[in-house]
Amino acid sequence: MTVTGERAHIECEDLVRIFTAKGVEVQALQGLNLRVDRSDLVAIVGASGSGKSTLLNILSGLDTPSAGSARVAGHDLLSMRRRERARYQRHVVGFVWQQTARNLLPYLTAAENVALPMVIARRSGRSERVDHLLDVLGVSHTKDRRPAELSGGEQQRISIAVALANEPEVILADEPTGELDEQTSGNVFEAIRHVNVELGVTVVVVTHDPLVSEHVRRTVQIRDGRTSTEVVRRSEVDEHGAEQHHVEEFAVLDRVGRLQLPDDFVRALDLRERVRLRLEQDHVGIWPDGSRRNGDDG
């Protein structure tokens, strides 16, 4: 994880999104922080209802946050006007949803589906680009077929091609492998990674799939509308020339110093309400509030 002074490619700070339905307010995001560097590949994991999809909807410009700040490639998602939003969706982000029905129009062939975003963006040289993208994703043979005539994996790979049509800087994918079997799922994820590496596109993937989350360098966990922990995987070649995989778990500290402890830590020490903190030379220690426990016993 790199947190540098320079602007990240995706930068969310204290992002809040409140839904109001029939007078009941649901706070889907409660001050979420996220930074993703250019050309990074990040997986976002979390239980259902944790706010993953809300975050992705905000990043794709389909939804507007209630408060906080969110910037993607220099576009401020809160202050974005209709015209800028359209430009943003056309040129800056591309996305892939779990259901192919949301990615592809059923009556268009694969090639036409890939061409559609370019038609919207009035881009020229469409045919060449369609051919190129289908080729990159290894689905050239499906060109003239309609989604109904394709396998789930092929559909998702075409969906990735659709997302890439206008050379976006960021690809957002919401459970892109959710409806696929393991084998296909692997292929599709491989395609995403390929795109990330070859084209240098920043990728954010929301997933449940451990196959995906365990194969990305950085996994961000969202809990109750906040980013709670991050797992960073590094591979280093040790002195014996063998590849070493390092997995480190981090908690996220926000600007004002708030920190969310992982669930298992809290349970293990039965941390409740108050904890003791102590600043050491190179770390911070946390203890259960002993006085309270004594009080309870007494």
Partner 1 sequence: MKMQLTKRHGAARILIRQAVASRGAGLVVILTALLVAGMFALWPRVEERLFTENARDAMAQSSAMMRDLVMVAAGGPPVGEQAIEAVFDSERPALTVDDVWGASQESVLEAQQDMPGLLRRVTGGPRMVAALDPVTTPSEQPHPEFVEMNTHLLADPDYAESVSFVEGTAPGFPETTAQAEPDEHGSVTKLDVTVEIALSAGVAQRYAWQIGEARTVYTPQAEVHLELTGVFEAVDPDDGYWLHVSSALEPLVALTDPGLVADAHGFISPEAIGTVWWILGGGSTQVTRVWFPIDASTLHANEVPALIAELRAFNAAAHPMLLEANHVSVPASRFATGSIDILENVRAERDSAVALTAMVVVGPAAVGLAVLALASKLVVGRRRRMIATMSARGASAGQLRAVLAVEGVLLGLVPTVAATVAAARLVDEPVGRGWWLVPIAVGLVPIAMFVGAVRPAGTTARRFAAAARLRGWVRRTTDVLVVGCAAVAVILLRRRGLDSGTDVDPLLVATPLLVMVAACIVVLRVYPLALRVLARSLEPSAGTVTFVGSVRSGRERVAAVPVLALVAGLAIAVFTSVLLTTIERGAESAAWADVGADVRASSARGFADDAVESALGFAGVDDAVAVTDAGTTDLFHGTTTTKVRVLAADTSALASVQADVPGAPPLPADLSELRDGVVPAVAGGVGAVGIVGEVVAGRHDERVPVTVVQRASGLPGLSQGEPWLLVDVSAWENTGISLERPRIVLMRTSGEVDQAALAATLNTNGPLVSPPEHVERFQNSGLAGDIRVAFMVSVAFAGLLAAASITLTLILGAPARGRLLSVLRTLGITGRQAQGLVAWEMGPVALLALLFGVGLGAAVPGLVLSGVDLRPFTGGREQPGVEFDYGLVAAAVGAFIVLVAVVVGVAATISGRLRLGEVLRVGEDGA
> Which of the ranges 41-49, 94-102, 192-200, 240-248 carries the binding residues for partner 1, by CB under 8 A?
94-102
**Is residue 260 at the binding interface for partner 1, with CB under 8 A as the rule?**
no
Give ∠ CA 32-254-8 in degrees, rounded to 5: 75
Q: Cα–Cα distance between 152 and 180 in angstroms, integer? A: 7
Asked if residues 11 and 62 have their Cβ atoms less than 8 Å apart, the reply is no
**Is residue 75 at the binding interface for partner 1, with CB under 8 A as the rule?**
no
How crowded is residue 248: how many other Cβ atoms within 10 Å of its Cβ? 10
Two tokens at 32?
Answer: 């979420």
Smallest gap from Cβ 164 to partner 1, in A, equals 12
Q: Tell me whether residue 93 or residue 231 sits nearer to partner 1 (CB atom).
A: 93
**Is residue 217 at the binding interface for partner 1, with CB under 8 A as the rule?**
no
Max intra-chain CA distance, the chain: 79
> Which of the ranges 115-123, 133-141, 176-184, 231-239 carries the binding residues for partner 1, by CB under 8 A?
115-123
> Taking Cα atoms as reference points, which of 49, 78, 46, 45 lies closest to residue 61?
78
**Is residue 67 at the binding interface for partner 1, with CB under 8 A as the rule?**
no
> Taking Cα atoms as reference points, which of 7, 29, 135 lies closest to residue 74?
7
**Is residue 16 at the binding interface for partner 1, with CB under 8 A as the rule?**
no
> Which of the ranges 100-108, 202-210, 221-229, 266-274 carries the binding residues for partner 1, by CB under 8 A?
100-108
**Is residue 172 at the binding interface for partner 1, with CB under 8 A as the rule?**
no
Sole binder of partner 1 in the list 3, 4, 6, 20 (CB under 8 A): 20
Write the CA distances from 111 to 15, 135, 239, integer angstroms. 37, 11, 49
How crowded is residue 166: how many other Cβ atoms within 10 Å of its Cβ? 18
Positions touching partner 1 (CB under 8 A) are 19-21, 60-64, 80, 82-83, 85-91, 95, 101-103, 105-108, 111-112, 115-122, 124, 126-127, 130, 162, 166
